[in-house]
Chains A and B, each alone.
Chain A
Amino acid sequence: MVLSCVVLSTWGVCEGAPRDDDDATKKMLEKLPRLLRRRLTPLARTVFTAIDQCALETYDMPLVFSSTHGELAKSFNMMRQIEAGEEISPTHFSLSVHNAIAGLFAMAFNNQQQCSVIAPGMEGIAPGFIEALGLLQEGNARVLLVFYDEPLVPFYPAEPFRLSADEMALALCLSADGKGLKLHFSRRLESGNSGEQPLQLPCLVNFLNNPEQGLVLRTAYKGWCWQLDV
């Protein structure tokens, strides 16, 4: 049977770039190796804080990270530096890949679990759920699904294409069964434009706070629906 229901046991969210003296961020930073803290960009701090909000005892589970743009601003700035004939920082270059935050997380917690990092494009948050469902279907007891994005730099025409929103990270610990919020995930025929992941994330958070209302997100060719499974 193809799994279309998941149990959300715990979740954490971090909205906006956290400051180092925010309690939640401070608590999270204290758990990290000293030399690794300096490598955390503002977006990485947002992601790590959201994961920390899940209050998991271990990260002994596959991880799925989903981000539409990753840290595109970093790459953009490096391209500007190259254009100006300047040398670029090796540290910034090494952290400019799409899986940089996932890599930092693995290093910070010495985590050797399977890890996927996806760029879902116009499909928004649904591919992250599909990836997580696949991992649960394979027999994994739990999956940590993490969404994150930050605003695009103004150079990119984000507004007409609904590509960019405020910085946010959302971490969901999902399982096939057990205690928690039981969610049913399905595909809908109707298409539309709910925007890409950055615009969909606040909708998902709103749904998690008010799950009885359900959530429908539409993309160019189809829609996706999340409902409480009763």
Chain B
Amino acid sequence: MSTLEHELKQLIINALDLEDLRVEDIDDDEPLFNEGLGLDSIDALELGLAIRKKYGVRIDQEKDDVVKIFSSVSSLAAFIESERE
């Protein structure tokens, strides 16, 4: 698990009030929504805001493949890395 992925898991737990989860409980490739962690559309908005505040990366729902970006911690990390380059 990279540092960014670890950070993102902690961000998800903090931003979404998932207090009963630990970083170790979230797999890098586990789906974040529906059958995975079970997050919903409000969580997606909250997470988008948290990522913007922490990394200065904006996820544009018109241009970006939001479903793919939010599909797992790995894909979120890959998107943030690509935007930083």
Contacts and interface: CB of A to CB of B under 8 A. Distances in A.
A38 B17 contact: yes
B49 A87 contact: yes
A38 B45 CA distance: 16
Contacts, number: 22
A35 B40 CA distance: 10
A89 B17 contact: no
Nearest to B38: A35
B53 interface: yes
B59 to A, nearest CB: 13
Interface in A53-112: 87, 89-91, 94
B19 A90 contact: no
B66 interface: no
A137 B83 CA distance: 61
Interface string B8-49: 000000001111100000000000000000111011011001
Contacts of B45: 90-91
B60 to A, nearest CB: 16
B61 to A, nearest CB: 13
A179 to B, nearest CB: 41
Contacts of B17: 38
Contacts of B20: 34
Given A89-B46, A91-B45, A94-B42, 17 more contacts: A35-B38, A35-B39, A35-B40, A38-B16, A38-B17, A38-B18, A38-B19, A87-B52, A87-B53, A89-B49, A90-B42, A90-B45, A90-B46, A90-B49, A91-B42, A91-B43, A91-B46
Interface of A: 34-35, 38, 87, 89-91, 94
The 6 closest A-B pairs by CB, nearest first: A90-B45, A38-B17, A91-B46, A90-B46, A35-B38, A94-B42
19 contacts: A34-B20, A35-B38, A35-B39, A35-B40, A38-B17, A38-B18, A87-B49, A87-B52, A87-B53, A89-B46, A89-B49, A90-B42, A90-B45, A90-B46, A90-B49, A91-B42, A91-B43, A91-B46, A94-B42
Interface of B: 16-20, 38-40, 42-43, 45-46, 49, 52-53
